[in-house]
Copies of this chain bind each other. A is one copy, B any other.
């Protein structure tokens, strides 16, 4: 994989030029075997790389860095197809989404659009008009979704930085399954305009990169702040209380994932954090509000198309939308009330003991494409259940890979009393042993 911080270092030192880097990235993406790429913007990317190569000074912290964009987010001049045949004839977007414009202003070179689970409505990455995305660690397995192409392209070493979206899992789960770092901030911290909505109560834009320091660097860049650069592990976590939730809700089905969380806890402790056990009252009831709210909001967006062009959706998406057609309003209203009530209560309860929660990111590692259940556990809930509580409560959260034999394993750090910066600082300590 390409570490963004190393790449920036090399670009600054002119050990590599933007043209060389972007040419290399375009070549890799053109030869991608993961079905991660929807469309390349090669000519424009090369022109921009040439401008940046000729620039006397860096234009910003991402000067010359090739970045890939999930095909749910507008890039001027390219259609936003959202992985769906419904939008096969979408016209090119007129303007960049603000988050894309920020990347360009920071010197990034947008190289193209990446695979998404159809309309981001699923944590698997197997459902799209262009076929399933393939996990670079085992091409027969899922990437996780919905930011499937973003995770796969970083994991395959094509790109140092990719942009995704996260409504219930969609940055963190593919990051976990592909062995990269995926970070979602709180809602509204990054602008959501120009992003096709899934569920407005939860939608966020997030970042995927090879390691936590790289995500931190990109986070500073898209926030328009001076880069903090590498935040070294082993310092700065003193006084931070990291909670290991004891509710069986958080148990992973794959024992390797439980071990990974234990290893991450030891890494964090070595870096100065205090590890505490915490209870997470009513988390199952809280998490159960997610599909009710997200389903109603997604259906409201798609109803017109769904009722007139259902056969153009992938079958799995059509089935999920059909389940929402008769959902009653009072159930949605109740779910929003329950979410606020139990969410506030859980955050207050956990926050009395812990500043962050540490959990596995998923209950299973990457499953074979086409398998919907493992030992009676649905793959979809397994890939969503541990991440969605932090969309429901709108907390910043990151998935970080922990070295294990075989397929990648990700652990999740979610900020309870702390915000994005502290979550990323803690993430940098994970996997360091």
Residues of A within 8 A of B (CB): 200, 296-297, 299-300, 303, 324-334, 337
The CA-CA distance from A300 to B330 in the complex, in Å, is: 5
CB distance from A185 to the nearest CB of B (A): 22
The CA-CA distance from A361 to B329 in the complex, in Å, is: 30
The CA-CA distance from A229 to B59 in the complex, in Å, is: 58
**Nearest CB to that of A333 among chain B residues?**
B300
In the complex, which residues of chain B have a beta carbon less than 8 angstroms from the beta carbon of A337? Answer: 200, 300
Q: Beyond A300-B337, A337-B300, is A328–B330 a contact (Cβ under 8 Å)?
A: no
In the complex, which residues of chain B have a beta carbon less than 8 angstroms from the beta carbon of A332? Answer: 296, 329, 332-333
Chain A interface SS verdict (over half) = helix
B333 and A296 contacting across the interface, CB-CB below 8 Å:
yes
CB distance from A260 to the nearest CB of B (A): 38
The CA-CA distance from A327 to B326 in the complex, in Å, is: 9
In the complex, which residues of chain B have a beta carbon less than 8 angstroms from the beta carbon of A329? Answer: 296, 299-300, 324, 327-329, 331-332
The CA-CA distance from A325 to B296 in the complex, in Å, is: 16
The CA-CA distance from A325 to B333 in the complex, in Å, is: 13
Between A330, A331, A337, the greatest number of chain B beta carbons within 10 A of the residue's beta carbon is seen for A330
**Nearest CB to that of A292 among chain B residues?**
B329
In the complex, which residues of chain B have a beta carbon less than 8 angstroms from the beta carbon of A334? Answer: 300
CB distance from A295 to the nearest CB of B (A): 8
The CA-CA distance from A334 to B304 in the complex, in Å, is: 12
In the complex, which residues of chain B have a beta carbon less than 8 angstroms from the beta carbon of A303? Answer: 330
CB distance from A45 to the nearest CB of B (A): 35
